[in-house]
Structure 1
Amino acid sequence: MGRELPSGITNWLEDSPLCSRFSHAQIDTSGIPLNARLIGYMSAHTWNFPSNIISLLPSLQHIPLAGSGIDSFTWRPSSTGKYSLKHTIEALALPAPPAPWYQLVWNSLSIPRHRVILWLAVLNKLPTLDSQSMAYKHILNHCTLCLFSGESLNHIFFSCSFTAPIWSHLQNTCGFYTRSQWNDFIFWASHHWSSKSIANAINKLALSASLYHIWVERNSRIFQDISSNQNTVLLKITNSIRERLLPLSLKDGVAARRARQAWDLPSSFIRPPPRPPDEPPLQP
């Protein structure tokens, strides 16, 4: 019941405070201070509000009194009554369908820190030098990877001479091809990789891992003056993909076999077929 709550200013009365039901003059003549605690108006199992307040709002007398337990807080956005950041955000956010690229970014196989970079890229929020140079005139828009052109998402993906061999290798390994514009590619991938096949899951994993390690290499050159060659960056990408796939054990099939061969995975990546119940176990 909230026995210790201020009766006049907290939302205990049908989700509203007592002061919202009466004028200031009525509250003044009732003798109830706004900060008076509810317990002061409880008598045994009945309410003990002033008669003039009861006459104005008879429903007060019909509000059930809870037991004499200790006050506790209930977080209404959460179904359990306990604080939950997820339920709080859902309560504050406007209802809207998921973005078409939701599964492309927020899928269970991609590495969490890789998802964040891909998410920013999908929203065109990565601080590439083309946008930075427009906001700050002293910043020169110069790609630190190839040193030949201005930096943008389209350049990094489709025209940078440093990243071109990396993308080409991954596209050949995964069996997909990029488009000529970043936004067009995201639109295409969001629709063509929507099913929950292992091939699509690996494509999403490869996309986020590639973008992440290329972005790390870009930042390393700008902020630390440390650079790696294309083969080193590609090795980091393939290792992160392979390490993510190693714990998996998939049902035998064409896609699973292709993935095992493409990423040099052990035989444990593919589960053996179940043994028929009447077949005796293999002898060592």
Structure 2
Amino acid sequence: MLQLKHMLPTFLKCEVRNGLDASFWWDSWTSLGPLMDFVGQSGPRMLRLRLDAKVGDAVRSGEWYLPNARSDRVQELQILLTATPPPEIARGADTYLWRNAAGNYAKKFSSRGTWEQLRTRSAQVPWSKIVWFREAIPRASFIMWLVCLGRLPTRDRLIGWGMTVPDLCPLCLAAAESHSHLFFSCTFSEALWQAFATPMCGQIAPSNLADIIPLFQLPLISSRSQVQVCMKLLLQVVSYSLWRERNARIFTAISTPLHALKRMVDRTLRDRLLSFPATDSHPSLLEFYFGCMSHPI
């Protein structure tokens, strides 16, 4: 936040009314921005106004009262003030305004609108809607985001950083651990994924993340909202569960059998889908899920 401090004057503006609260030197109350930045450190001495002076301190008998200009900057300020009505008590308290996403200043602050103005925009990635969607579980979305970025600290990455760790996948104990192996080339992770994805898709689903992401663009899924939501949620829950199981085996030496992990995934999906009731045009997501999973897990 401190690194963004220099941008504050472009977002926060003071609308001067009675001039009792607005700082003459530090608030952005004219189009010139904070006058301390515009005039410089010698400003208080040239204008005979203290550092803590309010805008109202520059007014005498209802008119602007400033000494003769001794620099071009001060002269520019005085020219501007000739077209600016001086503050009056009858106008009420000074008001602080925040710049919104449209570039206008308003009394309402929006963290979203501010972030949209601050952030660097990049091209939308093809997996964005697989990670962020209304029905997602936040903790699973975060792990899914790292999976898509390839940023989880898998053993191949740890070795690449110079750490001395075994490279064997703790889930299958048959191949080196990497993102592509863990999601879902590993026999253990593939079995967990296919147990749900195949009946939900109505066909054998891909077992490689690079092939799974384009799957959501196919009419089989993209044209059916319930299939799309359940499949996206499934992908996140399975990925989260696999990463959690992987960590448990490494750090606590406790292993959950595949059949037990399937039940955990099933329970998580049911609980989440239960929170979205049926509508007039669509049955509930949970009902759809039960229809896909005709055989018990």
- How many residues are matched? 262
For 1:165, the equivalent position in structure 2 comes to: 191
Q: Which residue, 150, 160, 170 being the options, matches 1:144?
A: 170
Contact kept? 1:122, 1:183, Cα under 8 Å: no
Greater shift in the superposed pair: 223-232 or 241-250: 241-250
Runs of 5+ in structure 1 lacking a partner?
A: 265-284
Contact kept? 1:220, 1:227, Cα under 8 Å: yes
Say if 1:154 and 1:25 are closer, same or farther in 2 by CA, change over 3 A: closer
Q: Percent identity, please.
A: 27
For 2:13, the equivalent position in structure 1 comes to: none
For 1:121, the equivalent position in structure 2 comes to: 147
Q: Which residue, 243, 247, 259 being the options, matches 1:219?
A: 247
Say if 1:63 and 1:96 are closer, same or farther in 2 by CA, change over 3 A: farther
**Counterparts of 1:234-245 in structure 2 under 5 Å?**
234-245=262-273
Contact kept? 2:185, 2:208, Cα under 8 Å: no
Contact kept? 1:103, 1:190, Cα under 8 Å: no
> Shift of residue 214 of structure 1?
1.1
Q: Distance in 2 between the 1:38 and 1:194 partners?
A: 59
Q: Which residue, 62, 76, 80 being the options, matches 2:83?
A: 62
For 1:261, the equivalent position in structure 2 comes to: 291
Runs of 5+ in structure 2 lacking a partner?
A: 1-15
Amino acid at match of 1:219: N
Q: Distance in 2 between the 1:178 and 1:16 partners?
A: 59
Contact kept? 2:200, 2:293, Cα under 8 Å: no
Amino acid at match of 1:146: C
Amino acid at match of 1:226: I
Contact kept? 1:115, 1:208, Cα under 8 Å: yes
Contact kept? 2:196, 2:293, Cα under 8 Å: no
Structure 1 position 249 matched with structure 2 position 278: yes
For 1:231, the equivalent position in structure 2 comes to: 259
Structure 1 position 76 matched with structure 2 position 105: no
Contact kept? 1:103, 1:194, Cα under 8 Å: no
Contact kept? 1:104, 1:194, Cα under 8 Å: no
| TM-score (norm: length of structure 1) | 0.78
Contact kept? 1:46, 1:61, Cα under 8 Å: no
Q: Distance in 2 between the 1:154 and 1:71 partners?
A: 59
Deviations 1:145-179 (A, max 9, x none): 11121111211123212222212211222116544
Q: Which residue, 235, 241, 246 being the options, matches 1:207?
A: 235
Superposed CA RMSD in Å reads: 3.1
Structure 1 position 14 matched with structure 2 position 31: yes
Q: Secondary structure at the match of 2:140?
A: helix
Amino acid at match of 1:183: A
> Shift of residue 196 of structure 1?
6.5
Q: Distance in 2 between the 1:153 and 1:144 partners?
A: 13
Amino acid at match of 1:259: Y
Greater shift in the superposed pair: 144-153 or 39-48: 39-48
Amino acid at match of 1:85: S
Q: Distance in 2 between the 1:41 and 1:213 partners?
A: 65
For 2:217, the equivalent position in structure 1 comes to: 191
> Shift of residue 46 of structure 1?
3.2
For 1:278, the equivalent position in structure 2 comes to: none
Say if 1:157 and 1:94 are closer, same or farther in 2 by CA, change over 3 A: closer
For 1:270, the equivalent position in structure 2 comes to: none
| TM-score (norm: length of structure 2) | 0.75
Contact kept? 1:118, 1:212, Cα under 8 Å: yes
For 2:209, the equivalent position in structure 1 comes to: 182
Say if 1:220 and 1:44 are closer, same or farther in 2 by CA, change over 3 A: farther
Deviations 1:2-44 (A, max 9, x none): 6434423432221512245547777744434454332211335
